[in-house]
Structure 1
Amino acid sequence: MLQERIEGKWLAAFRRVFALNGIGAGTTVALMSETQSRPVLVHLSELALSDLGADFCMIQMPSPPQSAPVPVKSTGTSWAIQGNRAVIEALKLCDVIVDCTVEGLIHAPEWEEIENAGRTRLLVVTNEHPEILERTEPKAEHGPRVARGIQMLREASEMRVTSALGTDLTVDLRDAPCGGTAGFGTTPGAVAHWPGGLCLAFPGKNAVNGRIVMGVGDMNLTFKSTLTSLIDFTIENDFVTEIKGDGLDALQLREYMAAWNDRNAYGLSHVGWGMNPGAQWVSAAMYDKRDMQAVEFRALAGSFLWSTGANQYAGRYTLGHFDLPMRNCTIALDGQIVVKDGVLQGDLAL
């Protein structure tokens, strides 16, 4: 069993990552957490900020009551701020938010106002055991490849995803907001998370059609599980319209989605691929679920990552959410292959 205590090597990693995010002497920082945050992450962040000479404060909110019909995990949408005006105004006056909330503030309802104030950037320290963060530490050299991948997405008009199992998905990328992170950012409004290494697009309305077949070894990150059976999805005009499969994986996924009683839970949220060379698929077998938020597996180099749930760019909002990384897929942008059978190609190759 892994212990959660301060280790010198982890503190050193936090100092390096914070410095990579432009935190140093005099940087105004808010260390944001909630009562259910992982204490060791808050403590490591506090010590690293102190060592770097940051001008920082610590804000802790009570974790809000559960309101959903089923457990909500791995959404990237923290409700910890709960619209508290004093907290929002304080965060707008900071250069950086070091975010140790359980789910993270990336999709939090308050982040847009904070971002639009024009000063603050966000660094999400995801709710992982520090050993996972140590292995997936963002590095400056990761930046150019991730930036190139995001640029390729922005310049493309169509993504096509295929696999030997039968996946054949077409995504209209025209006017789709695209982004991602290598795990660091230094400009106002920048959003980074550790682990980083993602290139993503948020398709607009009526943009996604086809079939997705998830196979043994693919992952359901909401459940923090590795599939042991096939799930066959039909996608029509952005929505999952059929989920076929006789195994436990398909059964649980169907029941969880149905529990929301919300059509938007079946909508496509984002599509993209992972770029982190430190992320390892097999590490899922080495940790208990409580040790991980499973962000590592979103960033698996060469994986195809697709997600169901909220997509604000298509006008769809819901708490129901799945992140579903797949191995051994081929991804093409306007016919140019960027991932072949799960391996990054060309300018993106490791």
Structure 2
Amino acid sequence: MRSESVDRRAVDVLARQLELCRVAPGRPGIVLFDGGTDLALVDTAVHALEAIGALADSVFVDDQSADDMSAGLTMPDIVVDILNGYSDAVESIVSPSARILSVVAQCTGELRPVVPHVGLSRRVKRGLDLLEAGQELQVSDDQGTNLRMGLKGARRWMHDGLATVPGKVAEWPRGMIGSAPAVGSANGTVVMSPGDIWLPMGWYARSSVALTFEGGRLVSIEGPTSETDAIRAHLSAIGNPAVYRLDAVEIGLLWIDGPRPPALFEPGLADSLGVADRYGHVVIATGDYPTVGIACCLRNATVAVDEVAAVRSGQPQGDLAPDVYEQAAHRHPL
């Protein structure tokens, strides 16, 4: 089940990411896909494995049992997961020690602006170190956002898109760091300004809306009814009181190339691949994973850890900013 054409740029991008995952020539690599997968993406994954000398094979996943399928699979060096409807079954299909690169793109066009570089992983790891060493995180901006939360004992996480060790599952393209607040410690206001993005709905904010948090819970939503009614209806429709709990603050570090910076209301950006992970975006989410309430994607926020800026007005600072080598890779992509 192969398509007739191959997107060479997408092949080069995925091949470079597989090299960063230390996929070895001469070793088997398996592409998992199903009936909901774009066949051009299947071809891209197979050609990318072949481009670096791996022994590529593609496996179609359907309603047959995971036991029957896993019994017939060769132990791969890497599994490229592009399943659409059976993604929850991956870990039962392949060995627990397999490395899995889970491609979250839906088509080859979404891979073209990605520039794989080891610098992203370095920045993500340094950012995680910053969160783990910090005691307090503050999100602010010049529109009235001022949210503070404790970090002591809080859960932290990262995504760098690299599956380099046995048993590792990495989503790609991803690039972000995040932290839950210490229990009951989040207090303050988040202001959604025009051009910010309401996730997971994928809407642009058209008017300013102020969200107030006390003791880690959302206690008020203030703004024009055209905005606030929609947000209240969304939260009410979920039907779970956990959606009012502040769950996470995440900082996007994924650099996606484009001919120009996106406009304030750029068509397609609000619901595009990686918008939450996009370089300099700050996401403040409510809920209780996997139940998500709202996620406020601020595009020009400042984030400080123990009063030291990690992001300033939507621009990562210090160890979170690309070095000259990563900058050069974006000036001269593959």
Q: Report the TM range for the smaller structure's normalisation.
A: 0.7 to 0.9
- 1:98 equivalent to 2:88? Answer no
TM-score, normalized by length of structure 1? 0.76
1:301 alignment partner, one of 279, 283, 294: 279
| Runs of 4 or more consecutive aligned structure 1 residues displaced over 6 Å after TM superposition | 87-92
> Matches of 1:91 and 1:236 in 2, distance apart?
52
- 1:243 equivalent to 2:215? Answer no
- 1:340 equivalent to 2:322? Answer no
SS in 2 for 1:282: coil
> Matches of 1:109 and 1:241 in 2, distance apart?
38
CA contact (8 A) 1:29 1:95 kept: yes
Aligned ranges for residues 107-186 of structure 1 at < 5 Å?
119-186=97-164
Q: For residue 61 of structure 2, what is the aligned residue in structure 1?
A: 60
Q: Quick check: 207-216 or 181-190, which moved more?
A: 181-190
Aligned ranges for residues 1-350 of structure 1 at < 5 Å?
6-51=6-51, 52-54=53-55, 56-61=57-62, 94-102=76-84, 119-246=97-224, 248-278=226-256, 282=262, 288=268, 294-311=272-289, 317-318=290-291, 320-350=292-322
Q: Percentage identity across aligned positions?
A: 23
1:123–1:248: structure 2 CA closer, same or farther, 3 Å change rule? Answer: farther
Q: Which amino acid aligns with 1:16?
A: R
Deviation at 1:196, TM superposition (A): 2.4
- What is the alpha-carbon root mean square deviation over aligned residues? 3.4
Gaps of 5+ in 1: 63-80, 312-316
> Matches of 2:99 and 2:271 in 1, distance apart?
22
> Matches of 1:228 and 1:110 in 2, distance apart?
40
1:225–1:20: structure 2 CA closer, same or farther, 3 Å change rule? Answer: same
Q: Quick check: 22-31 or 174-183, which moved more?
A: 22-31
Q: For residue 330 of structure 2, what is the aligned residue in structure 1?
A: none
CA contact (8 A) 1:28 1:55 kept: yes
CA contact (8 A) 2:159 2:177 kept: yes
Q: Which amino acid aligns with 1:282?
A: P
Deviation at 1:14, TM superposition (A): 1.8
Output one character per residue of 1:210-237: Cα deviation in whole Å (capped at 9) or x when no partner.
2111111111242223221122212233
1:41–1:286: structure 2 CA closer, same or farther, 3 Å change rule? Answer: farther
> Matches of 1:203 and 1:132 in 2, distance apart?
32
Q: Quick check: 85-94 or 235-244, which moved more?
A: 85-94
| Larger of the two Rg values belongs to structure | 2
Q: Which amino acid aligns with 1:121?
A: R
1:58–1:110: structure 2 CA closer, same or farther, 3 Å change rule? Answer: closer
Q: For residue 326 of structure 2, what is the aligned residue in structure 1?
A: none
- The count of aligned residue pairs is 316
Gaps of 5+ in 2: 323-334
> Matches of 1:284 and 1:5 in 2, distance apart?
35
SS in 2 for 1:212: strand
TM-score, normalized by length of structure 2? 0.79
> Matches of 2:312 and 2:81 in 1, distance apart?
35
CA contact (8 A) 1:30 1:59 kept: no
Deviation at 1:305, TM superposition (A): 1.6
1:164–1:331: structure 2 CA closer, same or farther, 3 Å change rule? Answer: same
1:93–1:236: structure 2 CA closer, same or farther, 3 Å change rule? Answer: farther
SS in 2 for 1:40: helix
